[in-house]
Amino acid sequence: MTPNEYNENLLRQHGLKSTRQRLAILDILDNKQAPLSTEDVYIELQKLDVAINLSTVYRTMDAMRDKGLIREAALAGDNRVLYEMARMEHRHYLVCIGCKKFIPLDGCPIKEYINGVASQTHYAIAGHRLDIYGYCPQCQAGGAGR
């Protein structure tokens, strides 16, 4: 199965029609390792000369989020929502404040902690968000990435 066929199935399995625009958006989310805002996705599409309207990108991101294909991930310094593919295991990131680079962290350090919170509070835990911020070695050196 080609990567394109895979994404076509992915869309249909989630009750969404497979279209040129949606496949292009999935390609971008697949290939970028960092969470992207709606505007980010639109800019990437333009770089690839994909003809698409910004409102379509907004609607597509909404639809994919509602269907569970993508999820809201970390968020940047500004107040935009960033999305990433909803892979099986969730991810946490180490974000460089200087150059905005995202490094995925291995595993989830608070799995057990959350179990404890659940049993103490009787909340039905649905998810969590954890990101760590700092300066990468290059940016600490006042380096290129900045």
Partner DNA sequence: TTGGATGCAAAAGTTTTGCACGGTT
Partner DNA sequence: AACCGTGCAAAACTTTTGCATCCAA
Is 55 a binder of a second copy (CB under 8 A)?
A: no
* DSSP codes joined into one string, 40-88: HHHHHHHHTT----HHHHHHHHHHHHHTTSEEEEEE-SSS-EEEEE--S
CB of 8 to a second copy, least distance (A): 30
Question: CA–CA separation, 138 vs 143, rounded Å?
Answer: 5
Exactly one of 4, 5, 6, 12 binds DNA (CB under 7 A); which one? 12
- Contacting residue, 3, 13, 54, 132, with DNA by CB under 7 A: 54
- Is 104 one of the binding residues for a second copy (CB under 8 A)? no
Taking a C-beta distance cutoff of 8 angstroms, is the pair 10, 26 a contact? yes
Beta-ladder partners of 82: 37
Is 75 among the residues that bind DNA (CB under 7 A)?
no
Among 48, 133, 142, 143, binds a second copy (CB under 8 A): 133
Segment contacting DNA (CB under 7 A): 15-23, 84-92, 105-113, 120-128?
Answer: 15-23
Rounded to 5°, angle at Cα 101 from 97 and 82: 90
Task: Select from 27, 32, 34, 37 the one that contacts DNA (CB under 7 A).
Answer: 37
Neighbours of 27 (CB within 10 A): 17
Strand partners, 93: 104, 131
- The footprint of a second copy (CB under 8 A) covers 75, 79-81, 94, 96-97, 103, 105, 109-110, 113-114, 117-118, 121-137, 140
- The footprint of DNA (CB under 7 A) covers 8, 11-12, 16-22, 37-39, 51-56, 58-60, 62-63, 79-81
